[in-house]
Structure 1
Amino acid sequence: MAHTTCPGPPAGGFDPVDPDRLLGLDVLGLAATGQKIIDSGGRQVLWVQCRPVLEAGDERLFCACCGAMGRRKGTDARILAHAPTCGRVTRLLVRVPELTCQHCRRVWRVDMTSAAEPRGLLTHGAVQWALEAVAVDNMAISRVAARLAVSWDTANDAVMVAGLEALGPLEERLKGVRVLGVDEHVWRHRGHQRYVTVLIDLTPVRQGTGPARLVDMIPGRSKTALVSWLADRDPHWRGQIEIVAMDGFTGFKSAAAEQLPTATTVMDPFHVVSLAGDALDETRRRVQQATTGRRGTTKDALYTARRTLLTEIDLLTVRQGQRLEELFADERNTPVEVAWDVYQTMIDAYRHKDRTQGKRLMNRLIDSIASGVPAGIEEVTRLGRTLNRRKDDILAYFDHPGSSNGPTEAINGRLEHLRGIAQGFRNLTHYITRSLIHTGGLRHRLTT
């Protein structure tokens, strides 16, 4: 039986153990002097002092008012929550030197801002740990608060402030944006639905340099909301936007045309195909009612084929293909066959290896259903009118590879996951900040 062997020490041997470095105290300007486990749950308290010890000439010895040298009066104690150590809740009992001025009698404590914010309850190390737990590990604020043994509000406030500081101001986040994605998002689970407009930087996706990232969220979903946000931006920045990818909402189209006249608007393929899929579904349900006088059941061919109808033709199994042939053999289902053919032709146009040929195919499709749909298929007729109005935006996709709003939908999916972690949001400010922390590129920044 083979025996495992322990690898030898690295070249040069191991460095001496430095407990302050292991605990992350050295970067805080602190040094540990003792440790005690205080309960059966494994909570520990570390006795620490300022590092280095005050020496002659240290500027912290001199009064900020008169400049006279102070003398040691005593020691004050400050309790701080630190990042968990080996799974243990960790508290720091900091012995802060207290000084008094020999001239003006002013009393002060040694500056501790290298370890924690004034009057703060968390060390900088604890705040950094909490931010990484939320942004990288998708940990709920309640779990972060439990690991640090602080209140929810304390943990949440620390993460919000640190997250916004790490993300930087909006002007910094907007630098380099050339392709802008716009979409709406429902941010509240319970009660009335509330919408926000999300703005995504799609430039890295188009350039192949990285993932898309959220840059901002606007309360509401309307032309007015987007126009107001764009009008507040620097005119030079607006002039640099080359492409705006969006869904079929006309409010976004109007706002982009008004505030970004030099940008090309692109209607996302997902939403275009979704419109065709909706028309196919509506046609199927109408024909079902017309032929049977009721909604579909598992015994009805139209109902059982509802998923098959929305499957790309190249992905159909032999059994599914036979099911569609049997379905279309019935002349009563001709409207469904027409809508299905439009749906499949649209997918073929987007899937075409040659974008020029795909564009021609899409152009012919839009022209044909805008004027040549047989009577009695009002769903496809309405679809033709919609596509014809946005024809330029739809065809623009073929001229601008990488301008899909797909990454925007992916970010929307991550925001849905965020709502699940938080079990819903009631505070819009918190939701926007947490969304930026999760999908604003902070995860990539913290892990590299």
Structure 2
Amino acid sequence: MVNHLSMTRIAAALDVAWNTANHAVLAEGQRLLIDQPSRLDGFTGFKAATTEELPAAAAVMDPFHVIRLAGDALDVCRRRVQVSLHGSRGRKHHPLHQNRRTLHAGADLLTDKQQGRLDALFADDRHVEFEATWGVYQTMIAAYRTRSRTEGKKVMTRLIDAIGTAVAISLVEVATLGRTLTKRRDDVLAFFDHIGSSNGPTEAIHGRLEHLRGTALGFRTLTHYIARSLLEAGGFRPDPHPGL
């Protein structure tokens, strides 16, 4: 089935033999799923499934999820420092809590006012651990924003090497991030070698599946579930392909 069309209908529409249409569809699937890279998010289950089912595919870890790992480490470090200083994860009058959104922005996009607030924040020696973690986060962003992918790969490689080996014992979050990036090193760096790889189609399919799962939730009989699935996919049209 392709876009709700059987192989027989595809062959009839193209006026070719069934085997010819079938080979063409399989060749396109080979191109999209195996010859082209498969971009992944940070969940290792997707990598395991891809490796098992598509051993020839190139695994590429999506930049969004790589930055998300660093952003999560930044948030964990911020809350840890706030607890050690103030006994809570953050109140509105605490400097780290006040600037929590600004701290996630790229350094090259900060306004003069925002930069001034961060300079004052990092002037406090009690925030030195957080400043180091923030520096790692910014370096990772800079690697993806370089004009040359070759240069970006060099920046990312140096970063992974630096935080994956010798890290100060006080930088707990950086050490954890370093171990994760070292483990997924090949997937992270593969992004710079495969131009145009995108996780968009995969996320789009996930979105449709999640919506279907939610709308069909609670139906106990197969007939009702099939009806809901057809409604989701537009299968109740009397003639879904009038042009054929």
Q: TM-score, normalised by structure 2?
A: 0.76
Match of 2:216 in 1: 425
Whole-Å separation in 1 of the counterparts to 2:173 and 2:66: 15
- Choose 243-252 or 352-361, whichever is displaced more: 243-252
Q: Which structure has the larger Rg? A: 1
Whole-Å separation in 2 of the counterparts to 1:363 and 1:432: 46
> What is the percent sequence identity of the aligned residues?
49
Whole-Å separation in 1 of the counterparts to 2:119 and 2:176: 26
Q: CA 1:434–1:241 in structure 2 vs 1: closer, same or farther (change >3 Å)?
A: farther
Whole-Å separation in 1 of the counterparts to 2:69 and 2:94: 25
Bigger relative contact order, structure 1 or 2 (CA pairs below 8 A, ≥6 apart): 2
SS in 1 for 2:169: coil
Match of 1:316 in 2: 110
Q: Higher strand proportion, which one?
A: 1
Whole-Å separation in 2 of the counterparts to 1:268 and 1:243: 11
**1:167 pairs with 2:7:** no
**1:374 pairs with 2:158:** no
Aligned residues: 215
Match of 2:28 in 1: 176
Spell out, residue by residue over 1:59-112, the C-alpha distance to the aligned partner (whole angstroms, 9 max, x if none): xxxxxxxxxxxxxxxxxxxxxxxxxxxxxxxxxxxxxxxxxxxxxxxxxxxxxx
- Runs of 5+ consecutive residues of structure 1 not aligned to the other structure: 1-163, 181-239, 439-444
Spell out, residue by residue over 1:106-165, the C-alpha distance to the aligned partner (whole angstroms, 9 max, x if none): xxxxxxxxxxxxxxxxxxxxxxxxxxxxxxxxxxxxxxxxxxxxxxxxxxxxxxxxxx89
- Runs of 5+ consecutive residues of structure 2 not aligned to the other structure: 8-21, 220-224, 236-240
Match of 1:252 in 2: 46
Whole-Å separation in 2 of the counterparts to 1:318 and 1:353: 24
Alignment of 1:23-42 (within 5 A): none
Q: CA 1:257–1:319 in structure 2 vs 1: closer, same or farther (change >3 Å)?
A: same
**1:351 pairs with 2:188:** no
Match of 2:178 in 1: 384
Alpha-carbon contact 2:95-2:121 (below 8 Å) kept:
yes
Query: Which residue identity does 1:389 align to in structure 2?
Result: K
Task: Tell me which of 240, 260, 263 is aligned to 2:57.
Answer: 263
Task: Tell me which of 94, 104, 123 is aligned to 1:329.
Answer: 123
Query: Which residue identity does 1:247 align to in structure 2?
Result: D
Give the CA deviation at 1:436. 5.2
Alignment of 1:36-55 (within 5 A): none
Whole-Å separation in 1 of the counterparts to 2:192 and 2:39: 13
Match of 1:225 in 2: none
SS in 1 for 2:38: strand
SS in 1 for 2:101: helix
Whole-Å separation in 2 of the counterparts to 1:363 and 1:400: 16
Match of 2:73 in 1: 279
Whole-Å separation in 1 of the counterparts to 2:46 and 2:234: 25
Q: CA 1:314–1:169 in structure 2 vs 1: closer, same or farther (change >3 Å)?
A: farther
Alpha-carbon contact 2:80-2:89 (below 8 Å) kept:
no
Alpha-carbon contact 2:37-2:60 (below 8 Å) kept:
yes
Whole-Å separation in 1 of the counterparts to 2:86 and 2:46: 41
Whole-Å separation in 2 of the counterparts to 1:282 and 1:351: 24
Give the CA deviation at 1:312. 1.3
Match of 1:341 in 2: 135
Spell out, residue by residue over 1:11-58, the C-alpha distance to the aligned partner (whole angstroms, 9 max, x if none): xxxxxxxxxxxxxxxxxxxxxxxxxxxxxxxxxxxxxxxxxxxxxxxx
Alignment of 1:67-86 (within 5 A): none
Query: Which residue identity does 1:383 align to in structure 2?
Result: L
SS in 2 for 1:347: helix
Give the CA deviation at 1:173. 7.5
Give the CA deviation at 1:425. 3.2
Root-mean-square deviation (Å):
3.1
Query: Which residue identity does 1:324 align to in structure 2?
Result: L
Query: Which residue identity does 2:216 align to in structure 1?
Result: F
Q: CA 1:436–1:249 in structure 2 vs 1: closer, same or farther (change >3 Å)?
A: farther
Whole-Å separation in 2 of the counterparts to 1:275 and 1:430: 40
